Chains A and B, each alone.
Chain A
Amino acid sequence: MPRPLRPAPGPAIARVDVHLPDRLRGISAEYDDFMHIERNVACNMCHSMRQPKALPQSPAELDEFHQGLVFRHGTLSCGSCHLLGDQTALRRADGTAIPLLDAIELCRQCHGPQARDFDHGAHGGMSGHWDLSVGPRTRNHCVDCHDAHAPQIPASRPVLPPADRGLTRAGALRSSTTQGARR
């Protein structure tokens, strides 16, 4: 006697939130506090006291702060996205300011296909629940995966090399099973 199916998912009651990474709230101070938690310094911590006279064209012009910033993001310059005078805001292409936490709206201006895919859950990844009648879902923010200044995901070393019997020495799948699979 097969057990009855559970009822269908109900209406979506849980939220889909976009994660807000620390990167949008400040900059790493590159030291840990006494609890060994990486310290994040809010932009205004320094910029409320100190304002640059002009936005630099490239990171090479940075002589005191933000040094060593790696920039590989097309032909953009600092002023393409940053505003002189308000470090908690970003500059849209039409010159209007948006809060730093709304950075997705900034990325969206140029990266249309990615934004479209993101809006439909097909770009960027997520965690939590597929069934929103059970629990919430958290979407990754653009800068969770991409460094806004060098957006290409850097090369990495793969984890967990397989070590099972299904492998030949050459690392290909074993040919006996291969033959059967090809038919």
Chain B
Amino acid sequence: MTAGPTRRVALKVLGGTLGAGAFAYAARPLAQWTAELSLEETLRRHYKELSAEELAQILRRLEEETKKTHGVDVQIRDLPAQEGVSFGYALNLSMCIGCRKCAEACHHENNHDRRTNNSYIRVLEMEQGSFDMERGKVDYDHAVPAPGKYYMPVQCHQCDNAPCVTVCPVEATWKEKDGIVVVDYDWCIGCRYCEAACPYHARRFNWTAPEIPPEEMNPDQGYLSNRLRPQGVVEKCTFCLHRTRAGRLPACLEACPTGARVFGNLLDPDSPIRWVLDNKRVYVLKEELGTRPRFFYFFDV
């Protein structure tokens, strides 16, 4: 028996030191993590499993974050869907003049990135006699309506058989009871499968966090609709959920200068949308894909 450290003890000490060092290095992101991303956000449950208190806490935290980053007092609400309400939207292609006022209203209402002129609505300038959406032109810049063209605004069709919902690997997007397909921006991992799956090109990806001057921010916000989106998540039209669930009309409808847009409750037989679907010639874009949209085009005859 020799006194003093043996080779074995020396190796143990060395191994222990290296191990502790490696652990400290591996755990280093944890130190920065708490500053940017709160623990409660990381450990929270899926939206559908949240209790009312947990949801309320999240909403308050998001409001505080907006106050911190933009200095604006916003109100973020999350109204649940309503019994006996199922939303539908119709757009009169005979009337639309392609002025893009709807896209502009969406841009402001939904706190879109100012730099990219983002909007949930793309207005396609189409050749008369063709319904090929892929040949529609979106960046036309001349007096409208131009001769020989018609205009087809395209936004989320809130499909009842939504391909975007099926492909989501983390259930960050789903269909609500009133028919609206929503995204939880805090659950989305940004894989963009949904964007590729959507036949209507209705989803948008936030390549950067949206830049909005504080004075232009819409303070009336919804958790599942127009609150500030983080970088790297997908977003989409929600028929202005924060407005429509409070009984109001969508911003794009109010902005339309030709009255081409009709919105309402499909379950109310006296609603304008029902009258349109019952009495007008209605066209469903890419009906053959079986997506069963809640967005309809119609014509005056």
Q: Please report A residues at the B interface, Cβ cutoff 8 Å.
A: 1-9, 113, 117, 120-131, 133-135, 137, 140, 145, 153, 155-167, 170-173, 175, 177-178, 180-183
Binary flags per residue of B268-301, CB closer than 8 Å to A gives 1, else 0: 1001100110011000001001000000000010
* A161–B117 CB distance below 8 A: yes
* B98–A133 CB distance below 8 A: no
Sample of 6 further A-B pairs with CB below 8 A, known A153-B97, A160-B103? A145-B258, A159-B103, A167-B139, A171-B137, A173-B134, A178-B134
* A182–B85 CB distance below 8 A: no
* A8–B196 CB distance below 8 A: no
B253 to chain A, nearest CB (A): 7
A61 to chain B, nearest CB (A): 31
Q: Does B207 contact A (CB under 8 A)?
A: yes
* A159–B100 CB distance below 8 A: yes
Residues of chain B in range 63-117 having any CB-CB distance to chain A below 8 Å: 79-85, 90, 92, 95, 97-101, 103-104, 107, 115-117
Which residues in B have their C-beta under 8 angstroms from that of A165?
116, 207
A122 to B90, CA, bound (A): 9
Which residues in A have their C-beta under 8 angstroms from that of B82?
5-9
A7 to B119, CA, bound (A): 32
* B258–A160 CB distance below 8 A: no
Residues of chain B in range 117-144 having any CB-CB distance to chain A below 8 Å: 117-119, 122-123, 133-144
A158-B100 in contact given A1-B51, A172-B135 (Cβ < 8 Å): yes
A-B contact pairs, 13 of them (CB 8 A): A6-B79, A7-B83, A122-B92, A130-B271, A153-B97, A158-B100, A158-B144, A159-B101, A162-B122, A167-B138, A167-B139, A173-B136, A180-B196
Task: Find the B residue at minimum CB distance from A133.
Answer: B247
Residues of chain B in range 182-241 having any CB-CB distance to chain A below 8 Å: 195-201, 204, 207
A78 to B253, CA, bound (A): 35
B229 to chain A, nearest CB (A): 14
Which residues in B have their C-beta under 8 angstroms from that of A9?
82, 84-85, 247, 265, 268
* A135–B247 CB distance below 8 A: yes
A129 to B247, CA, bound (A): 5
Interface centre among B139, B257, B263, B289 (most CB of A within 10 A): B139
Which residues in A have their C-beta under 8 angstroms from that of B142?
157
Task: Find the A residue at minimum CB distance from B195.
Answer: A177
A2 to B45, CA, bound (A): 12
* B246–A134 CB distance below 8 A: yes
Q: Does B27 contact A (CB under 8 A)?
A: no
Task: Find the A residue at minimum CB distance from B97.
Answer: A153
* A162–B117 CB distance below 8 A: yes
Q: Does B48 contact A (CB under 8 A)?
A: yes
> Of B201, B248, B271, which contacts A129 at CB under 8 A?
B248
Which residues in B have their C-beta under 8 angstroms from that of A178?
134
* A177–B196 CB distance below 8 A: yes
